[in-house]
Amino acid sequence: MSRFKYPVDTDQFQRIREDGKVYVDKTGMMYSLVNKYQYVFLARPRRFGKSLLCNTFKAYFQGQKELFEGLKIMDLEKEWKTYPVLHFTMSGLKNLKVSEAKTKLGNFIADYERLYGRNTEEETPGARFRGLIHRACEKTGERVVVILDEYDAPVMRLLYDTKQLEEMRMMLREFYQVLKDEGAYLKFVFITGVTKFSQMSIFSELNNLNQISMIDEYSGLCGITQEELNTALRPCVEEYASNLEITTDEAYTLLKAKYEGYHFARKSQDIYAPFSLMRALNNNTTDNFWFESGTSASLIEHLKHFPNFNPLDFDGVELSLEDFNVPCENASTPVPMLYQSGYLTIDYYNKEDDVFVLHFPNYEVRQGMVYSLTNYLMDISDWDRNATILAMARALKRGDLSSALTELRSYIASLPYDIITRKEWMAKKKKEAFYKLLMYVVFSLLNSKVDTEVKSVLGRADVVIKTKNDIYVLELKVDDTVDNALSQIDSKGYAIPYEADGRQLTKCGVTISSEARNIVYWRAVDNEGKVIDEQEYE
C-alpha cells in the first residue's frame, strides 16, 4: 500500500490539503501573477490542472490561510485579506442549447445573489452579473475577484453550427463584456480555457487581458515540471520504482517517455501531464490515462473538416507566434486546435527563423491519437486490429520479418473495400496519402509491443523497429519500386545511427500498389546489401 495519497479523484484544493494528498506547490507563481496583473488568461489542454489552479486562487482570495501552511506563498503574503470571489465553472454549460445554457448560467449567478442580493429589474445574465459585482463590492468593502474556468466550453461543440454558435456568442458576450466595464470594482480576474475563439470577442474587448499562456516564467503554472518530479515528487517516484521492481532511473525514463514532453513557451520547462502522471504513480502502471478519460468529440468533429490531414504532416510542423493565435474556426489547418488541445506541443523554438517546431508530446498522446484514427478511419474491430499487432510483434521478436509483413498484408486485405473512397474521409484524399496514414497507424500501434519509431520529420526512415536481437529499418513506397525504397535508405543514411548498436541490422524496402490496395513486394537486405529475404505477391 502506498504511503502517499494522490489527488486522482478531486480538483478541490481545500480537500487535497485537508486530506494530506500530494500537492505540488504553485503558489509562488500565483503570488507573482496577482501582484503583476489585474486580468489574466491562461490556455492549457484539458486535464492539465486548470480547475485545481482556479480553486487554489479561490481559497487564497477567500483568506483560507490555514490551507497554505508550508507553501511558498506563506513567506510572501503578509496581509491575507478576504475578498468576495465569484467563481464560474463554464464547463457546466457545454453540450447545452443556448436557452439551456442561459438558464444554467442564471442559476450560477443566483447562487451568489443569495449572498449579495439581487435586483429583480436585472434580467439578462450580463445585467445580473454587473449588479452582483457592484453589490458584492459594496457589501464587503473590497473589490471583487472573478474566476472563469473553461470559458470556451460552451462553444466547443458549436464550431460548425453557425446559428447556434452566433446565439451562444451573443449571450456570452453580454456576460463577458461586464469584466471590461467594471474594472474599478475588480481586484483580479483569472480566465482559463483550452483554445481561442475570435467570435467570443472576449479577447478583442478585454484589451487589457494578459495572456500568459506562452510566457516562460509561467510555463510550469499547470502540469508537473521535470524539476518538481526530481525534487518534491522524488519519494513518489522511488516508491513507484520499487513497486514495479525497476530502478529509480528506469522509472524516470519510463514516466518521461509516457507523460512528459509538453512545452508551452520558447524556454519552457519540461512539463508532465498531471492527470496521467498522478494516476500512474497511484496505480503503479503506465496506462494511457489522458485518452482513457475521453477523446475530445469536438476534435474529431473538427478534423472531419480537413479531409487531407495526415499525422505524418503534424510531427515537425512549424508555426510562427501569430499562428498560435489563429482562432480555430478560421484556421486553414487543424494544427492550432491540435496544439491548443494538447495533441501537439512545442518541440523547440527556432530562433533564427523565428518559428516554433511542434511534435506529439509523448507516447501516450501519440498512441491515443492513433487509436482515435483507427476508429475514425476503419470499420474493423478492435479484436482483429489487436490480434494483428500481437502476431506482428511476436514474429519480429523471433526475427521473422516475413511473417510480420504477411500479417500486415492480411490486415490490409481485411479492410472494407470502399475505405479508400468513403465520402466522409477519403473522397478528397490521394490514395498514396491514405496508405501512408495506414502504415503510420499500424506501426504506431505496434509500439505497444516492440520499440517502434515512425517517421516524423524529413530525413528519417519511415519505420525503425527494435527488438532484443534485431533492428529493422523500413522504407515504404506507394506505386514505386523496392529498389528505390532501399536506395533511399542508403542515400539518406537512415541505417547509419544503428550500425554500432550490436544487434542484427536489416534494411527492408516495401512497396504498396494503390491499384491492388495492398503490399505487392518487399525485399530485406543486410547492412552490406546482401539479400536476406524477399517476397513478391501476385
Q: Is 256 exposed, middle or buried (0-12, 13-18, 19+ CB in 10 A)?
A: middle
The three grid cell numbers given for residue 273, joined into one nine-digit string: 501531464
Position 293 confidence tier, pLDDT thresholds 50, 70, 90: low
Helix (H, G, I), strand (E, B) or coil at 18: helix
In this prediction, residue 202 carries a pLDDT of: 59
**Residue 147 within any structural domain of the chain:** yes
Same domain, 341 and 418: no
**Residue 373 within any structural domain of the chain:** no
Position 362 confidence tier, pLDDT thresholds 50, 70, 90: confident
Q: 473 - beta bridge partners?
A: 464, 507
**Can you tell me the distance from the alpha carbon of 512 to that of 435, in angstroms, rounded to the nearest whole number?**
8
| pLDDT tens per residue, range 480-518 | 999 999 999 999 899 998 999 999 999 999 998 878 888
Domain boundary pick from 308, 340, 363: 363
What long-range pairs does 93-101 form, CB within 8 A, spacing at least 24?
93/153, 93/154, 94/153, 94/154, 94/156, 94/157, 95/157, 96/154, 97/164, 98/164, 98/167, 98/168, 98/171, 101/154, 101/168, 101/171
Q: Is 352 exposed, middle or buried (0-12, 13-18, 19+ CB in 10 A)?
A: exposed
**Residue 13 within any structural domain of the chain:** no
Same domain, 137 and 202: yes
Higher pLDDT, 117 or 479: 117
Higher pLDDT, 278 or 514: 278
* Average confidence (pLDDT) over 360-387: 71
- The yes-or-no verdict on residue 124 having pLDDT over 50 is yes
Higher pLDDT, 165 or 250: 250
In this prediction, residue 383 carries a pLDDT of: 62
Q: What percent of the chain has pLDDT over 90?
A: 58
Please state, rounded to an integer, the average pLDDT across all residues of the chain.
86
- The yes-or-no verdict on residue 240 having pLDDT over 80 is yes
- For residues 326 and 199, the answer to whether their CB atoms sit within 8 Å is no
Same domain, 527 and 391: yes
| pLDDT tens per residue, range 390-431 | 999 999 999 999 999 999 888 888 776 555 544 444 443 456
Same domain, 83 and 183: yes
Q: 62 - beta bridge partners?
A: none
| pLDDT tens per residue, range 137-149 | 999 999 999 999 9
Same domain, 41 and 182: yes
**Residue 478 within any structural domain of the chain:** yes
Quote the number of domains for the chain: 4
**Residue 370 within any structural domain of the chain:** no
Same domain, 314 and 414: no
* Average confidence (pLDDT) over 183-193: 95
Q: Is the pTM of this model over 0.85?
A: no
In this prediction, residue 414 carries a pLDDT of: 79
Least confident of 2-11, 127-136, 284-293, 370-379: 370-379
**Can you tell me the distance from the alpha carbon of 116 to that of 140, in angstroms, rounded to the nearest whole number?**
9
* Average confidence (pLDDT) over 109-117: 96
**Can you tell me the distance from the alpha carbon of 58 to that of 53, in angstroms, rounded to the nearest whole number?**
9
Q: 40 - beta bridge partners?
A: 190, 210
**Residue 230 within any structural domain of the chain:** yes
* Average confidence (pLDDT) over 339-361: 90
**Residue 103 within any structural domain of the chain:** yes
Same domain, 268 and 359: no
- The yes-or-no verdict on residue 113 having pLDDT over 80 is yes
Least confident of 126-135, 187-196, 213-222: 187-196
Three-point CA angle 31, 33, 39, nearest 5°: 135
Same domain, 174 and 67: yes
**Residue 9 within any structural domain of the chain:** no
Same domain, 188 and 43: yes
Domain boundary pick from 317, 340, 363: 363
Same domain, 302 and 269: no
Same domain, 128 and 213: yes
Higher pLDDT, 410 or 207: 410
Domain boundary pick from 218, 253, 272: 218
Domain holding 156: CATH number?
3.40.50
| Ramachandran area for residue 529 (φ above 0: left; ψ -120 to 50: alpha; else beta) | left
Least confident of 140-149, 309-318, 448-457, 515-524: 448-457
Same domain, 417 and 338: no
**Can you tell me the distance from the alpha carbon of 347 to that of 344, in angstroms, rounded to the nearest whole number?**
9
Report CA Rg, the chain.
26
Position 476 confidence tier, pLDDT thresholds 50, 70, 90: confident
In this prediction, residue 385 carries a pLDDT of: 73
Position 29 confidence tier, pLDDT thresholds 50, 70, 90: very high
Domain hosting 126: range is 25-218
Position 373 confidence tier, pLDDT thresholds 50, 70, 90: low
